Each structure stands twice: as structure tokens, then as C-alpha cells.
A and B are shown apart, each in its own frame.
Chain A
């Protein structure tokens, strides 16, 4: 196995150990980090970087980043979170992030998926179509 594959393999193993009941657990992540510090595996930095990428992707899967141009009420955020939780079948928390570049409307990001309902998004779609 090449070193790159070994790194990926170990990072995936560590990631699996970080899950409790299919969800990321803070305690387990801390435990994994402690283990890496103690054992110092070959290419430790690369392993940790790969591990970080996997954890970041998992965190993003459970979080809906709601970008908005105007004010967004707590109820709206709550309704977005509950509808996405229903859609994906896993708990998703909503976090608001103001973004005036959107001009108006919302853009919600959950993991790799983006739900675009903003004026800037529609304008760029229009520009691509013309």
C-alpha cells in the first residue's frame, strides 16, 4: 500500500472511531486526538489533515448555514432546520450568516448541497443562460 493510501486508510479508521451511534462525538474526537499525540503514527500531520477533512465534511452535513441579505427571524431559521431535518432524515441545526452580496433572499448550504433562492443566484443563472 502506498503511503498516501495508508494515510487515507488510517484517517478513515480514526474517523469511524470518532462516531457514536452514527454521530460525531466530541469526547471520541478528543480521544482520537489524544491517541494520535501519544502514538505519533507515520505521517502524523497528513493523517490529521485527512482526519480534519472527514470531520469537517461530517460537521457540514449536520449543519445548515443560512446566508441572508436581509434580516432573518429565529422562526424562519427554526422552520428551515426542521424542514431540512425532515428531508435528510438526520438532525440538522441552522446557523445564520449575513451576506449582503446576495442582494436579497437566502442561500442555504448543507454539506455539499446548496439551496439557492437569492437574487444574485438568479442573476448569475440568467447571465449563464444568455
Chain B
């Protein structure tokens, strides 16, 4: 027995004395967040490089006799001649539920002053998107809580829906509303104790934004009680472009953890225009050939590989992506907008004119589309809002015609009146998502002409009152609509009785 023990001890001693191999290089130059390195003959593409002081870099250009590496973090301590080494690891970030309620940087380090993140697992930042076989088509809805979107441009779990528009048109507000609505649904669902209920966790990736905006978003989420279901990945405008370039991939890795573990997650990339700009900066400094608008040749792949990671997996969970793109003067045909439009499964286009006219959310019904979401829409919404998109499109056409002051027949006037009422009805304040059952009731009343007798300016207020009436007095009916998700004759009769009751009490 003693000889066996001796053998084991010898083996341990051998292991402990084993030499550690390191592949090293030296810094040839450091400029603009990019280091050029000599040596590192074993380095792999996208491998983490360790610099003195623990600073991390990523090898992005492997050339014949030098390596181009973006430095994540403080480059002021690095100097020419410093030694660096390969780590044999791809860049990974912490993942898991421990991150919920936290704000982290592109590397997953907490930046909210709430102490360290107790994450047990790490996922690589760059990962190949799920293939064809493991995917499942989109059939489950994601309720944004925005009536115009849920009724006309529905989104499904695993879909990629682009939010696009000029600056200051309410793109971020739509994304935040959606996150808040998920938190509300989660709270109701978890409280109901339904074993089939699948909560939806959210990840908000802020790329190149002002720190003050990020703080405002955090405050809005916290005030709405949504922060506990949300992870915020912040790569502010003050951070180096490498962090801004990496942040969406880090967020995607965090979302993938939920998807791989049978949960559902929603990820918002706010915004990919700034992401493309950060990548352009890195590519130009790395002396990669530039193409249209000075973007590198692989700028399409930059976004396609990111958005392809959003999916619904068979037997697992889903990752829904809401990328945001900022246009200039409503130009949808610019380089990055066309790229992302072609990658995603539809877009919500926000118009400056509508926004300035007071139609908020300023969703342009004509230019917005959801390619796969209708399969995920619940039957009740289809029943009450199925024809809305067509009606609104007709209204826009007629409204343009009516501007010339032509004499209009009674039917056209009625159509115009109805369209104006629908537009009024869809107006919704920020950070105030409407539950889907309330949307069904509101649209049902619209469909049945309950707002026709109400003064146009008071339609929205009347709808708010109707929802208040249902929330306070008809909670059981709302629960019934939510659970059935379809309107049958019996349910419609109940809704009619309730709406009639409201109508009798409504003073206008």
C-alpha cells in the first residue's frame, strides 16, 4: 500500500514542478486604444491578451509579423517594450440570474456600486449562432404594452424587430416600455402560480450613450419596478471604442444563458448605429481596408452574426432582439439602416412629423412591418385589431387627399373620422404600457363604435377611463380574457355588458 501512496505523491510532486508555458510578445506601439505587438506566435483570433497590470486586450488582426490588438480598459499605463502574453482563452463574461438588477460594463464588471456580481458561470462573448435544426418557429408573443405595436406590428419570442427612426422620436422609450411591460407580466404570472408561465428577462445594452441617459434609463426601470428582471450592459460614450464594440456581444452572451437554460429573454441594443461607428473607428485604426461611408467590409457580418444569435430553440428558451438604429433625416436607405433592416424580421419605423404632431408613440403604420410576429399574436387581438392596419393605411391615403379641401361624400367623411379616432386611441404616454387584456377591451369598444359619439379630443381620455373602470371593477373579466386569449360569444357578451355599464356612467 505504501508504494502506491509514494507513487501518487511522486506524481503530485511532478505535476507541481511542471513548467508553465507562456507565449509572449512585446508592445511595438500603442495608439487610440489599439496596441501593435511583436511576437505572440501562438495567438488565436479573438484571444484575450494579458498586459502588465492585468489590462486585457483582444487580438483582432493577425499579420505576418505583428498582431493588432484592441485594449479594453486603461491604456495610459502601457508603454512600448512592455511584455504581454496570450491567455489561451476567448473573452468571456459572467452570466446567470445573479446579474439581474445590476448594471455591468462590456466585460461584465459591475459599475453600479452594488458590490461584486456572484456569477457562477461564464459564457464566451463571441459565439456561433444556433443552427437550423435546433430552431423552432416563432409562435409565442412578446407583449410590448404599446397598443399600436401589439395590435398591428406584433412581436414574437425569438424574433428580431428593429426600432428605427430619427433622433428624439421615442425609440428608446418603446424599448423601455417593453422591458417595463415584461416586468409587469412577470409579476402577475409569477404571483398566479401557473406552472406553465414563462417569465421574460430583459437585457438593455447601452452603446455609446451619454452617461446621464443611462442613469435616466436605470431610474425609469427602477421606478417601474422592472430593474429586478433586467440586466443593463453599459458602454457609455466616454468608454473606449473597443468596449462599445464588445458590449452587444456581451449582452447577447448573457441573453443566451437564459435561452440555453429554458428561459426567455429580451435584449435591446441601443443603438447599433453607434456600434457600427465604434467598429469603424477600430477598423480604421487597425488599418483595415475601408468601404462605403468608410465602414469596413465586414460591417454587415458585424450585425448579422450578432442578431442571428436571437432565436427560439426547440425544447429550450428564446432570445428576442430589439435592435435600435438612428437614421439621419428619416433616410432609411443609408448603409447601416438597410443592412439591419435586411437582417431583422421587421421594423418599427418612428416618424419625426408624427412625433411633432403629438402622435406618440410616433409609429408609422405604412413603413412598419413584422414579418413573423402575426403567428405569435393572440387570437383576441387578431379578432379586435385584425383590420386596423388596413383601415389606418386607407385613412392616411384619404387624409392626404382631403387636405386639398375637396368635397367629400359621407362615407369618406366617416372613414376619415374613424381613422382620426384610431390615431387618437393609439396615443399613449411614455413608461405606461397597457396590459394585453386592457388593449383587447379598448379595441373591442373601438370596433363596436363606442367612441363614435365622444368628442374627438376626448377619445383617448375616454379610453383611459374605460381601462380604469375595467381595472377597478371588472378584474375577473380581464383575467378571463387574459387566460382565454380569444373572444367567444359568451366573453363578448360579458364585455358588452361591462362596456355598456361604463358608457352609462361615463360623463364625457
Interface residues of A (CB under 8 A from B): 8, 12, 53-54, 57, 106, 108, 111-117, 121, 125, 128
Contacts and interface: CB of A to CB of B under 8 A. Distances in A.
Contact of B25 (A108, A112, A115, A121): A112
17 contacts: A12-B65, A54-B65, A57-B39, A57-B65, A106-B19, A112-B23, A112-B25, A113-B21, A113-B24, A114-B21, A114-B23, A114-B24, A115-B22, A116-B19, A116-B22, A125-B20, A128-B54
B112 to A, nearest CB: 25
A114 B20 CA distance: 8
Nearest to A53: B38
Interface of B: 17-25, 38-42, 54, 64-65, 85
Contacts of A106: 19
Contacts of B23: 112-114
A53 B23 CA distance: 18
B41 A112 contact: yes
B20 A117 contact: yes
Nearest to B43: A112
Nearest to A15: B65
Contacts of A115: 19-22
B64 A114 contact: no
B267 to A, nearest CB: 33
B83 to A, nearest CB: 9
Contact of B22 (A8, A54, A114): A114
Instruction: Give 10 nearest A-B pairs by CB, closest first.
Output: A117-B19, A112-B39, A115-B19, A114-B22, A112-B41, A116-B20, A112-B23, A112-B24, A114-B24, A115-B21
A37 B21 CA distance: 41
A97 B64 CA distance: 30
Nearest to B38: A53
A108 B20 CA distance: 10
Nearest to B86: A112
A54 B39 CA distance: 10
A114 B25 CA distance: 10
Contacts of A117: 17-20
A96 B223 CA distance: 67
Contacts of A125: 20
Most buried by A among B18, B23, B65: B65
A116 B20 CA distance: 5
Nearest to B16: A122
Given A57-B38, A115-B19, 16 more contacts: A54-B65, A57-B39, A112-B24, A112-B25, A112-B39, A112-B40, A112-B41, A112-B42, A113-B21, A113-B23, A113-B41, A114-B24, A114-B85, A115-B21, A117-B18, A125-B20
Contacts of B85: 114
Given A113-B22, A114-B24, A117-B20, A12 B64 contact: yes
B120 to A, nearest CB: 18
Interface centre among B17, B22, B41, B64, by most chain A C-beta atoms within 10 angstroms, is B22
A128 B38 CA distance: 24
Contacts of A53: 38, 65
A8 B63 CA distance: 12
Nearest to A118: B19
B167 to A, nearest CB: 38
Contacts of A8: 65
Contacts of A128: 54
B252 to A, nearest CB: 29
A108 B39 contact: no
B94 to A, nearest CB: 18
A12 B25 CA distance: 19
A8 B40 CA distance: 18
Nearest to B41: A112
A42 to B, nearest CB: 20
A111 B65 CA distance: 13
B251 to A, nearest CB: 28
Contacts of A113: 21-24, 41-42
Of the listed residues A12, A54, A57, A114, the one surrounded by the most CB atoms of chain B closer than 10 A to its CB is A114
Nearest to A61: B41
A108 to B, nearest CB: 7
A110 to B, nearest CB: 10
Nearest to A122: B20
Task: With a 10 A CB-CB cut-off, give which of A54, A112, A113, A125 has the most chain B CB atoms.
Answer: A112
A54 B19 CA distance: 28
Contacts of B24: 112-114
A24 B85 CA distance: 27
A111 B22 contact: no
Contacts of B21: 113-116
Contacts of A108: 19
B24 to A, nearest CB: 5
Interface centre among B17, B19, B39, B41 (most CB of A within 10 A): B19
A57 B40 CA distance: 11
Contacts of B22: 113-116
